[in-house]
Amino acid sequence: MYLNFEGMSAVVTGAGGVLCSEMAKGLGENGFTVALLDIDLDAAESVAKGINESGGKAQAFYCDVLDKESVKKSASLVEEAIGPIRVLVNGAGGNNERGNTTEHMTPKDLENPDLNDKNLFKLDPDGFRFVLDLNLMGAFIPTQAFLPQLSKHEDASVINIASMASYRPMTQVPAYSAAKAAVSNLTQFLAVHLAPVNIRVNAIAPGYFLTKQSEKLLTNPDGTLTSRSQRVINHSPSGRYGKPKELVGTLLYLCDKEMSGFVTGVVIPVDGGFIAYSGV
């Protein structure tokens, strides 16, 4: 199938990151004029430069998705620069060490909580809250800010970025898991709430992707997989990690009203079969 989104505009938040930069490139390669929003403006500008040099159209903007005024300002600048957007990709998100725990609590943790600063007793509420805000409010605030632009189209799309943790919590990352489950729930709410104004809302749930950012966590210095990383592979029917470019097809499908005009309120896993495998 041939897709052509010439004349259409899109926003990608968190566009300086590994996965979202690849999605922004995919939009640019298929005719979208893309606004790249990120708190790291240098990273966003680097991605925009690559899109422009490849024949696409892109522009970078500073944006803190947790600051309502920052997002409102960015939305105004985007509309002035490229017109009212038709697609919003809420890609900003991530985890923080302060929202992590060990895999299990042990009897020793109960006897002396101070022995392990990663048990539930010691989990930093502010760190937990930051991860919740980054992923949940980081999707809600931009959706609210760009809603007036999206509503100017007969068919517009909001595409959130969920996770495997939206389905089942991952060990060691309770804040991130709770946040991504909330993103999935918010996607369904918004799909119902915005349907009368012709805005479809869906989400993509990436599986496990080996990127430069995650490489140190998933591989040993000699390039072999860590024990935790090997468990992911063992639970993946595909037997490998995903490549960031493998998210683009699903993204473009959700953008195209001819192919997905009757699709709203769904979370599509792109995971190599991870959630389909029971382990037995």
* Pairwise CA distance, residues 257 & 154, whole Å: 10
Strand partners, 89: 12, 159
Q: Which residue blocks in 83-173 are alpha helix, DSSP H?
A: 107-111, 125-132, 138-150
Q: How many CB atoms lie within 10 A of CB 40?
A: 14
* Pairwise CA distance, residues 216 & 66, whole Å: 27
Catalytic residues: 176
**HSE of 26, CA atoms in CB hemisphere, 13 A:** 22
With beta carbons less than 8 A apart as the criterion, state whether 54 and 278 touch. Answer: no
Print burial letters for 236-248: b (CB count within 10 Å at least 16), e (below 16): beeeebbebeebb
Q: Which residue blocks in the chain are alpha helix, DSSP H?
A: 18-29, 41-53, 68-82, 107-111, 125-132, 138-150, 174-194, 215-218, 227-234, 248-255, 257-260
* Pairwise CA distance, residues 152 & 133, whole Å: 28
